[in-house]
Amino acid sequence: MLARTVILLIIVSQLGCAPAKNAPVKPLAFTSFPVLEYHLIGRPEGRWQRTPENFRADLEWLQANNYYPLNLRDILDGFGAVPAGKRPVVLTFDDSSAGQFRYLPDGKLDPESAVGMLKAFHDRYPADWPLRGTFFVLMETSSPDRNLFGQPESVAKKLRQLTEWGMELGCHTYSHDRLDRVSPAAAKRSLDRSLAVLAKFSGRPIVSLSLPLGKFPTDRTVIERFKLVAEVAGGMNPVNYDPLQVKRIQAMDSEWQRFFKRAAK
Ligand SMILES: [Zn+2]
């Protein structure tokens, strides 16, 4: 009886010590973190478009408020990369439009594309702002501007560079397919085709998925291969977030005010 009680006590005490899923190893100075969501970068400002001026102002504001950028996949490591005194932010970009990553006719990186601005900002603050960002790319849609950043001659170069420069490639299906409206077999095929393209250019496994329109497939086993699934809205994530339902915040003025208490311009 005594032996059984001791064994029971050991089991209970071990259960009590087991870390919760995704629990950070050391105490964190923050309790939540934002995952920002960008679509088009260009003019004018709109529901789905951020101007270059506003994008630069977003980076300035985040840096001034002690945010530190991570790729989405980096949050799987329990925020260990975030320096003391900083708090994490993830910048994500959906739909791979040219405004996110463009080369000019002379071969130079467009300084008003998101990647151009991220690089310039990193050059200004190399220690405080590493080159991070997660790009959820599309391969083939009816809008050529959104197919792998819209410049067919530069596809391989861009996808390789994003990886080499420290950023992350993520899956957004092959053709922006609504996973709730296609059969599980068709959903799987769309993801397979997307991953085949991304795997060719990324030296790393693809672990992140952004759901088109935030719609889950009817058969969730289809997306089991991903470690992180990003939704389209939801606000801040707690540090013990659900990796298969990562909430995001659209980077638009009303959302900055609502979730960051950032003053209106
Ligand atoms: Zn999308």
Domain boundaries, the chain: 29-260
Distance 82 CA to ligand 1 centre (A): 28
Contact 34, 260 (CB under 8 A): yes
Distance 265 CA to ligand 1 centre (A): 27
DSSP conformational letter for 204: S
Distance 221 CA to ligand 1 centre (A): 21
What residues pair up with 88 in beta bridges, in sequence order? 68
Instruction: Using the predicted structure, report yes or no on whether residue 11 has a pLDDT greater than 60.
Output: no
Percent of the chain with pLDDT over 90: 85
Distance 136 CA to ligand 1 centre (A): 8
Give, as residue ranges, everything with CB less than 5 Å from ion ligand 1. 94-95
Report the 10 Å Cβ neighbour count for 36.
23
33-42 confidence digits (pLDDT tens): 999 999 999 9
Among 3.20.20.370, 3.10.150.10, 2.40.50.140, 3.40.50.300, what is the CATH number of 29-260? 3.20.20.370
55-101 confidence digits (pLDDT tens): 999 999 999 999 999 999 999 999 999 999 999 999 999 999 999 99
Please name the residues in contact with 197: beta carbons below 8 A apart, sequence gap of 6 or more: 139, 148
**Which structure tokens are listed for 66?**
């002690």
Distance 87 CA to ligand 1 centre (A): 27
214-225 confidence digits (pLDDT tens): 999 999 999 999
Among 38, 50, 144, 132, smallest CA distance to 98 is for 144
Its pTM stands at 0.90
Distance 12 CA to ligand 1 centre (A): 46
Distances (CA, A) of 36 to 42, 124, 135, 207, 265: 17, 21, 12, 18, 19
Rounded (10°) CA dihedral 20, 23, 26, 31: -130
**Separation of alpha carbons 190 and 176, rounded Å:** 9
Distance 94 CA to ligand 1 centre (A): 5
More confident call, 3 vs 87:
87
